Amino acid sequence: MKIISVINLKGGVAKTTTAVSLAELLAEGDRRRKRKGSRVLLFDNDKQGNTSRMFGVYNGEREAEACRIIKTGRITGNIRDTKEENLDIVPCNYFMELAELEIKADKEHAQHDRYKSALHEVSGQYDYCIIDNPPDLGMNVINAMVATHEIIIPVRLDAYSLDGLEELVEQINQIRALNPKARIGGVLITDFEKSDTSEAAERWLRTKSGCHVFQCKIRHSKKAKDATFYRQTPTHYSVRSGAAQDYKAFTEEYVQKFGHLAAEERR
Ligand SMILES: Nc1ncnc2c1ncn2[C@@H]1O[C@H](COP(=O)(O)OP(=O)(O)O)[C@@H](O)[C@H]1O
Ligand SMILES: [Mg+2]
């Protein structure tokens, strides 16, 4: 099972939209390209629970499954089905804040590798685990980074000034320092609208940042925004929208480039 973290320390850059779209499209496969659906575990690691809400498994009343995993280091019993074939989910909610405090107080056991050992339990059952992260470096994000093989960084170019982009590259290195073995899969340009500034920012990213930037970028599309309102993924809400089409192309680009699992990821 390959573990992919979708991460960026800024909010509103389409981390959740990217994580759910990639998970759903990997699980679905692509008949035209004869790509079979993969077995995917989508891990909601954000206490806001937006990913969980999109799959109808959000419950704010009691401790969510992700919180139990970080507290115990065990995943059995903490995975929920979705309506989608090949796609399971670990839900999250605001109890994550309490869980983090609780494990920080636990000085006897290591705190940073609980996701890693938990995910190891199910590594034979899935091809991919995709973790949707919050925009901070809390203990749950550290746990995700320690477990992760590969990082995908969504960026919305208008969320950054050109200086901000340099800062982004520094942050990527900071995130990477938590697990130097994790590979940067790449930066994905999301919610893209053509303008002089967005094109200049794209050019800088592609030529000066030193990061791999995916060829596909995700267009801004009103339907993707509306999808959030109805708590649906862009692909489900409107498969013909620009964003849904672009996520499909991005998933195929991803599979072409990184779809072959390395030996340690197959375990
Ligand atoms: N391609 C897109 N076109 C239009 N709106 C988008 C697009 N991608 C994301 N959004 C909207 O931007 C907002 C933030 O996206 P989200 O995935 O929740 O970001 P994050 O998880 O990084 O906070 C949401 O309202 C979402 O619907
Ligand atoms: Mg989010």
- Residue 187: enclosing H or E segment and its boundaries? strand 183-190
In a domain, 145, yes or no: yes
Q: What are phi and psi of 216, to 5 degrees?
A: -70, 140
Ligand 1 contact, 210 CB (< 6 A): no
- Reported as a single tens digit per residue, the pLDDT across 43-96 is 999 999 999 999 999 999 999 999 999 999 999 999 999 999 999 999 999 999
pLDDT band for 176, please (50, 70, 90 cuts).
confident
Domain membership flag for residue 12: yes
Output the CA–CA distances (angstroms, integers) from residue 137 to 125, 127, 153, 204, 262, in the order listed.
Answer: 28, 26, 15, 26, 27
pLDDT confidence of residue 257: 92
**Considering the domain boundaries, does residue 266 fall inside one?**
no
Backbone phi, psi, residue 87, to 5°: -125, 115
With respect to residue 223, please indicate whether it lies within any of the assigned structural domains: yes
- Which is nearest to 192 in space by CA: 151, 239, 242? 242
pLDDT on residue 267: 61
Is residue 141 one of the residues assigned to a domain? yes
Cβ of 243 closer than 6 Å to ligand 1, yes or no, is: yes
- Determine the straight-line distance between the first and last CA of the chain, rounded to whole angstroms: 6
192 CA: nearest ligand 1 atom: 1
Which residue range(s) make up the domain with 130? 2-261
Q: CB-based contacts of 164: which residues, under 8 Å, 6+ apart?
A: none
Does residue 121 belong to any structural domain of this protein? yes
Domain count, the chain: 1
Protein residue closest via CA to atom 15 of ligand 1:
14
Give the pair of three-digit tokens for residue 52.
């969980």
pLDDT tens digits, one per residue of 102-142:
998 888 888 999 999 999 999 999 999 999 999 999 999 99
Q: Atom 27, ligand 1: which residue's CA is nearest? A: 225
Domain contains 201: yes
Q: How far is the CA of 190 from the centre of ligand 1 (A)?
A: 8
* CATH code at position 151: 3.40.50.300
User: Which of the pair, 134 or 167, is modelled with greater confidence?
Assistant: 134
In a domain, 190, yes or no: yes
Collapsed DSSP state (helix, strand, coil) of residue 210: coil
pLDDT in tens, 179-228: 999 999 999 999 999 999 999 999 999 999 999 999 999 999 999 989 98
- 19 Cα–ligand 2 center, Å: 9
